[in-house]
Every structure is written in structure tokens, then in C-alpha cells.
Amino acid sequence: MKEIIVAIDFSKGSIHALDYAIAFANQMKSNIMMVWVDSKASQDFAFSAETNEFRDEAVKSMEDILKSRKSVLKNGKLSYKLRTGKVYQEIANQAKINEASLIIAGTHGVTGYEEFWIGSNAYRIVSYAPCPVITVRYDFHMKEDRIKSIVLPIDSTTDTRQKVPFAVHVAKAFGADIHVLALYTTSLKTVQRKVDNYARQVQKFISDEGINHYIESVQADNITNASINYANKVNADLIAIMTEQETTASNILLGPYAQQMVNYSPVPVLSIQPKEIYSISTR
């Protein structure tokens, strides 16, 4: 991976996400750019004394982080960028400019906590990102700085398989196992056979890449709950999803699957948009 963008708002959650990103980047031999967004400054007051003081404080905080973390990043360069605008748009814009391979952002989970912007913008960052995004909850700790187990939920949508190459790349870098989870959201046998067929294709791809893997199928009234429960069962370190997935009546009441995963999963979530499969640079 060429570069990882980390969203920073100086909250404990975003600093925790940075530490997660450093451990991740050390395995991937990636650079990290920290990005802070001044979402409060308006165009009219962009050069006011108050705004400049706010940005000066942000620069000082970034320099402090840089000083304390740069030696921990073993195989890449740590840098930062300050931007002004809407948080999710500016994080996405910087990722485009840098041709970043990945964005990592912290999340508070679903709370009323609004002092910092990361928690309330995590899903929007996922939605606007031009590359895969990993969202990390503030209380998740990577075991020995390693990802050992990745869950791949597979449903009946054609896009469900697009996340596999990126997940395989991560699994190879960390020496992780992959757990393929075939999700049945209906009792219709034709749909279940489609899920089974996709799961077998995914299993073959993973097997051909030489990765240790497991496969299991479950009936899922709510695919968010089913995925999280299974991830907890196998002690997973990462769940890989597409940002648009099939829905059932129960899912619609709770909101989109990807948004539920980002907000509720205690395990980091790798979200990939169902467009073209992202190219992965190993340089």
C-alpha cells in the first residue's frame, strides 16, 4: 500500500485510530498522512484572528503527535495536513490527491458525544471515500499489533465478492486466517444456492492464494447482528463488508447494513464501495 490517510480530531478515539494505523502500516510498509479538518471556519472568517489561533493550536497538536509517533512508524513516513471544509469531503479529497490506498478513522459508536467530529462523521467518510476505509472503535485493541482473523460475510448480491481481493491482501500481510460467512437472509432455496455458489467461489480464490480459511453458513434475520455475533465467536480482528448490501425489513428499520456495522461493531470494519475493484499497490 502506498499511503494511509488517518482522520484526526485530537480526540482519544482518533489518536487510538492513529496507533492502530501505525501498527497496520508497519505490516504494509505504508506512509501515513494525518488529516485534520477545520469544519467550523466559514469562508467569510477564514482569515480572522480567532480562526488563525485555532489553526495554530491544531498545528502545535499535530507537531506534538508527530514527535511522539514518528519513531514508532518503522517502514514509512508520518506527515500531516490541515484542511478546511466539510470533514468527510476533505478527508476524501486528500485521499484522492495522495492516491491513498486506505483511510482509517476512529468511531465512538452510537452515543450523544459531539465534542469531536470523528464519531459523527465516520459513516460519511466511508460513503465519500475513493478507497477502502477501516473504522476503529475507541475501545478496540489490536492483539500484539497484529490482525489474526478476518471475517468475510457473503450474501446474494453480485457486489459481495468485490471485497475479497483487498481482504486477501491484508490477510497475506498479517498472516491472518479468513472466515467466510455465508448469510442466508431468506428461506428461498434459489437465493441460498446463489449465496453458496458465491461462498464457494470466494473459498477457491482464498485457497488459491494459500491462506488458511474456514467457511460457515447461518440464517440471518439481521445481517449486521449475524456478522458481529460470528466475529465475536471466532475472536475476529476485522470484518470486511461492502457499503451497499441486501436488506430485509428488519434491517431497513435499523438503517443501512454498512451504517449499522460502522456504528455498532466492536470489531474494526473494512468498508469497500461496490464500484470497480480497488487496485492494490504493493510497492
Contact assessment for residue 172 and residue 132, using Cβ atoms and an 8 Å cutoff: no
Q: Tell me, what's the pLDDT at 92?
A: 94
Contact assessment for residue 262 and residue 126, using Cβ atoms and an 8 Å cutoff: yes
Q: Tell me, what's the pLDDT at 221?
A: 86
CA distance 115 to 92: 22
Domain that holds residue 43: 3-137
Q: Kindly state whether residue 32 falls inside one of the protein's structural domains.
A: yes
Q: Kindly state whether residue 278 falls inside one of the protein's structural domains.
A: no
* Best CA proximity match to 276, nearest among 246, 239, 242, 240: 242
Instruction: Give the angle 33-243-102 at the CA atoms, nearest 5°.
Output: 15
Please tell me whether residues 161 and 39 are part of one structural domain: no
Please tell me whether residues 158 and 239 are part of one structural domain: yes
Please tell me whether residues 157 and 114 are part of one structural domain: no
Residue 22, CB-side half-sphere exposure with 13 Å CA sphere: 20
Q: Kindly state whether residue 142 falls inside one of the protein's structural domains.
A: no
Q: Tell me, what's the pLDDT at 226?
A: 94
Number of domains observed in the structure of the chain: 2
Q: Kindly state whether residue 280 falls inside one of the protein's structural domains.
A: no
Q: Tell me, what's the pLDDT at 47?
A: 52
Q: Kindly state whether residue 283 falls inside one of the protein's structural domains.
A: no
Given 137, 171, 189, the domain boundary residue is 137
Please tell me whether residues 156 and 97 are part of one structural domain: no
Given 87, 104, 137, the domain boundary residue is 137
Which DSSP string corresponds to 23-56?
HHHHHHT-EEEEEEEE-S--STTTTSHHHHHHHH
Q: What pTM value is reported for the model?
A: 0.87
Please tell me whether residues 19 and 117 are part of one structural domain: yes
DSSP state, 151? E
Given 102, 137, 172, the domain boundary residue is 137
Place of cell 459481495: 160
Q: Kindly state whether residue 7 falls inside one of the protein's structural domains.
A: yes
Please tell me whether residues 90 and 201 are part of one structural domain: no
Q: Tell me, what's the pLDDT at 41?
A: 64
pLDDT digits (tens, 9 = 90+) for 160-174: 999 999 999 999 999
Q: Kindly state whether residue 37 falls inside one of the protein's structural domains.
A: yes
Please tell me whether residues 101 and 199 are part of one structural domain: no
Report the CATH number that the domain containing residue 102 is assigned in CATH.
3.40.50.620
Place of cell 476524501: 92
Q: Tell me, what's the pLDDT at 94?
A: 97
Cell for 251?
A: 434491517
pLDDT digits (tens, 9 = 90+) for 12-51: 889 999 999 999 999 999 999 999 998 776 444 555 555 5
Cell for 62?
A: 499535530
Residues of the chain with pLDDT under 70: 41-51, 108-120, 244-256, 275-283
Task: Give the sign of the dihedral formed by CA 272, CA 173, CA 139, CA 232.
Answer: positive
Please tell me whether residues 85 and 202 are part of one structural domain: no
